[in-house]
Structures are given as structure tokens and as C-alpha cells.
Structure 1
């Protein structure tokens, strides 16, 4: 049985949960519902005890139940609540279906040849979430959609860099194969967790790419949209802090546990709320 949206969001200990806490109640509830959908979709793919066929079948059924939720007839209360949330905030449906396609990519491949291949994956599993969220946050400028897309890519690239060790343990390499070749760092070296100058140069390159998307998002966001997007800005600061910590550890993600602590997340979230909700209004 699926837990309530709030329970799922809180249990995840995600940066998203802390950023949502300072939203008005109606928006906070909507964000918890959207996040819970994303989390549950991801958990279908991440279930290590299930076979590939079972995961495909569960994902197929999840998509069908999601479609039933538009009329409130899903067997899952979470999806029915999501259907109501989508209607209330007029959230486009395409990002939800694209997210499911992104999860299917995780079942279909565990390597990415080029960054173009990887960027499609990043869009589907992360930018889509941003496109859902901005409809709840509210915005005035259409360019905010591009802000969400670029920020999502930055978030996912940061996750990939932070989780290289964990993903290698699962047999996955998200870093583009063309990048490994560019820095003469082999797949075998990554799987053996070889920390050397080639790896550090590769990581510096990938970190700068993630920073490029953070910077691009910053250039796009409009001043009068910042107050309503304070939760997104809080998440942006938390992920940027993660990227900074990777650099501070000299890119040694094999031996160092890179994380932003609870009080850091809370402090960043409160700071963003104070700045954008009080100063900019």
C-alpha cells in the first residue's frame, strides 16, 4: 500500500522536502503529491529484488493507473490525488509521461555514448519535475520553463557526479563514454574505482558542465518571478552546495560521502524564503 504523499516526501530526506516546507499549505500539499509520484515511479525501477520483466510490467501498470486518475478512478489514492492536483494547478500532462519514459531508459541502458544521449535522460528524469513544479509555484514569464529545464539538467548532472561510486556498484556508468575516452579514463578504471589525475581531470570537466547549466538557469530567471520560485531557488542552492563539496573533496567521490547536512538544507531553505519572500516583495 502506498503511503501518503507527505510521508513519502518526508521519508526520502530529499532536498525537495525541506524546500517545500515553507510553501503555503495548499502549494506544499500539491508539491508533496507531485514529489511522491516521482519518488514512487523511481522506486519501481530501483527495486533491486524485482526482475527486469516485473519492473517493466509495474511501470506499464503505473502508467495505466495514472491515466485512470484523470477521472479519479485509479486504484491508488496517491494517483487520484495527483489527478486532482494536476487539474487544480493546470499542470501539463506531458512531463509526467516523459518522466515515466526516463525511468524506462534506466531499464533499457546502463551506459551513455554521448552527452546528447545523457542530456535527454536528464531532461526526462529531472527537468520534467521542474516543469511540473513551476505550475504549482506560479510564474509570469514563459522563459521560466527554460529555467526549469536547465536547472533540472544541472540537478541531475550533480546527482550523477555525487553517485558515481554507488552507480558503479550497481553496474551503471552515466558519464558519457565519449568523455571517458577524452580523458583516457577507462570503464574498467571506473569500475575498479581508480582515483588518479585522469579521473580528476574528467571530474573537473563534468563539474564545469553542471555549473554551466546552473549559470544558464540563473541567466534566464526573471526578477519578478523570484519570489514565487523561492523553493526552486532553495533547491538550487542545496544542489550547488553539493557540487561545491565535490570540488572541495578534490573529486574523490569513491572514498568521500558527499552530502549536505540536515541543518544546512534547513538553513538554505529558510534563507531562500527570507530573501525571495521578504526582500523581493
Structure 2
């Protein structure tokens, strides 16, 4: 076992995603190692594109420079799959995970396409466009994480993708103002038009009522994806089901807090307390156990369907 790689991944998770860190501790040792190292790669790619460290100190950079960094990530990903020695810890970690769990190169490059959408400053006209972005940056991560947990059933993979979509919709709702301050907007332009807003207006406190309505709409749109994801727990090993049920609860709670806070949701970054995490951990255990005996509900109709 390469302990330095695991230490690096563990620190990356602890600093970069407090929301998922608690849940990740519930995996069995082998799954936890792979999940942490996969996360470290995802976090590294995100940071490289934004020229930041663990989600902090974001810098607005020139498109050409960002494009060059994206090309480097794509090249390093190809090298990882080719079995070449990797110098960057995050890519060494990804190489181990991808080869051990037979994660198809297609998945990794689909994830990198999400960063490419940022580099191209892609516009999101409809909600389907927003969901397509969510797929690349989070739905695909759900697919890869599920594969790390041993999932190969397409129906269960659909539910894993749905959870990724729900997580990202929650993230977008929580970060509307923060994203707007660095010139990014993932809300559908059609929604903005309905509210009489431009993307640049989202950071203006004068428009908080409209922003709150948009966030509420995102949280509501996430709900059927969270519901669908719950039914996927039956297809996971028990400890993995416990971890994912807990992460599900933590992220969903953040969305509900954004919704309840209304216009004040962006006065501070919304998150969950230690007490809330413990309560959600207990609830997750109950959900994981009940998934062993309850027949999963059919996937709700009308949900966005992943490519493939």
C-alpha cells in the first residue's frame, strides 16, 4: 500500500469537502481508500482549472491559460491510463483507482469535459443544459464512485448518477452568489429571463428576493433526483450504502437550509453542524439497513437520462 498517497487523499478530502468527509469514513478500508483517491483527483483537476488550492483563492484567469491547463490535465489522464509513472500525487492516486476498478477512460474524460465547459464559458439556456453540466462535473463522479463500490448494474448506476446531479444542483443553489462574483452562472438563462435578471445581477444584494426564488427552484428540482438515489442503496454493499445514505442526507440538508434561509442564504456559507452530521449518520444507518428488505421504487419518470 502506498501510504503517502492515501495520506494526501485523506487530507484533500478533509479540507476540500467537509460535507462528504464524514460519510467517507463509513466505507470499508479498501473502498474508502479508492473513494478518497478518486476524490483527490477530481479536486485536483478542479483546482488546476481555477488556478486555486482546495477550492480557495480562486483567480480569474485568461481563457488561453485555462485552456493550456485543461490540455495538460487531458494529457496526464491519457498517461495515467497508459500506465506511465505519474509525478503528481493526485494523478498517481487516480491511476491506481482507475486501473484497479476498471474505470473506463470515457468516464474520466467526460468529467474533464465539465471543466472544459467552464473554460469555454459555456452558456446554459435551458434547465436541461444545466443538468448536462451537472452530469459532467458530478453525475460522472457518481458513476465512478459506484464502480469503486463494485456496482456494474446499469439501473444502479443510473441512481448513482442521479445522486451526483442532486448534489450539484444543491451546490449551485448554495453558491449562486459566490459563483456570480467570479463571473460564473450555471442557472438556466430562461429562468433568469423570467426573473428579469442578468447573470451579473446575481451578486447584487438588491436582487436577493429573485435569487432566493431561483435557489428555491433548484432545490425543488433536486428533490426527485434525491428520491431516485435513495432507491439505489439496495444495489450497494451495506457499509457503502450507509456512507452514501449519510452523504445524501448531508447534502440534501444543505439545500433545505438554503431554501429556508431565503434572502439570507448567502450571508454565510450554508453547511451542517457536527450534531446534524451525527443525526444524519444515524438516519443513514437506518436507511441502509432498510434498503436490504424494502423493494426499491421504480426510477421516477421524466428525470434527465445520462448518455450511454
| TM-score (norm. length: structure 1) | 0.87
Correspondences of 1:82-231 after superposition (within 5 Å): 82-109=94-121, 111-139=123-151, 141-187=153-199, 189-195=201-207, 197-218=209-230, 220-221=231-232, 223=234, 225=236, 227=238, 228-231=240-243
Q: Which residue of 2 aligns with 1:73?
A: 85
Q: How many residues align?
A: 279
Secondary structure at the aligned position of 2:206 is classed as coil
Query: What is the deviation of 1:170?
Result: 0.8
Contact 1:195 1:252 in 2 (8 A): no
Query: What is the deviation of 1:28?
Result: 0.9
- Does residue 58 in structure 1 map to residue 69 in structure 2? yes
Contact 1:130 1:148 in 2 (8 A): yes
- Cα deviation, 1:199-235, whole Å, max 9, x if unaligned, reads 44333322211223222333x4263537243222211
Q: Which residue of 2 aligns with 1:35?
A: 39
- Cα deviation, 1:166-187, whole Å, max 9, x if unaligned, reads 1111122211110111233444
Q: Runs of 5+ in structure 2 lacking a partner?
A: 52-58, 294-308
- Cα deviation, 1:81-116, whole Å, max 9, x if unaligned, reads 322222222222222111111011111116422112
Return closer, same or farther for 1:212/1:183 CA change in 2, 3 Å cut-off: farther
Secondary structure at the aligned position of 1:75 is classed as coil
Contact 2:180 2:200 in 1 (8 A): no
- Does residue 4 in structure 1 map to residue 8 in structure 2? yes
Secondary structure at the aligned position of 2:145 is classed as helix
Q: CA RMSD in A?
A: 2.6
Give distance in 2, aligned partners of 1:79 and 1:204: 37
Contact 1:158 1:210 in 2 (8 A): yes
Q: Which residue of 2 aligns with 1:253?
A: 265
Q: Which residue of 2 aligns with 1:44?
A: 48
Q: Runs of 5+ in structure 1 lacking a partner?
A: none
Contact 2:23 2:244 in 1 (8 A): yes
Give distance in 2, aligned partners of 1:29 and 1:256: 32
Contact 2:134 2:164 in 1 (8 A): yes
Give distance in 2, aligned partners of 1:248 and 1:207: 11
Secondary structure at the aligned position of 1:241 is classed as helix
| TM-score (norm. length: structure 2) | 0.80
Give distance in 1, aligned partners of 2:145 and 2:244: 8
Return closer, same or farther for 1:101/1:196 CA change in 2, 3 Å cut-off: closer
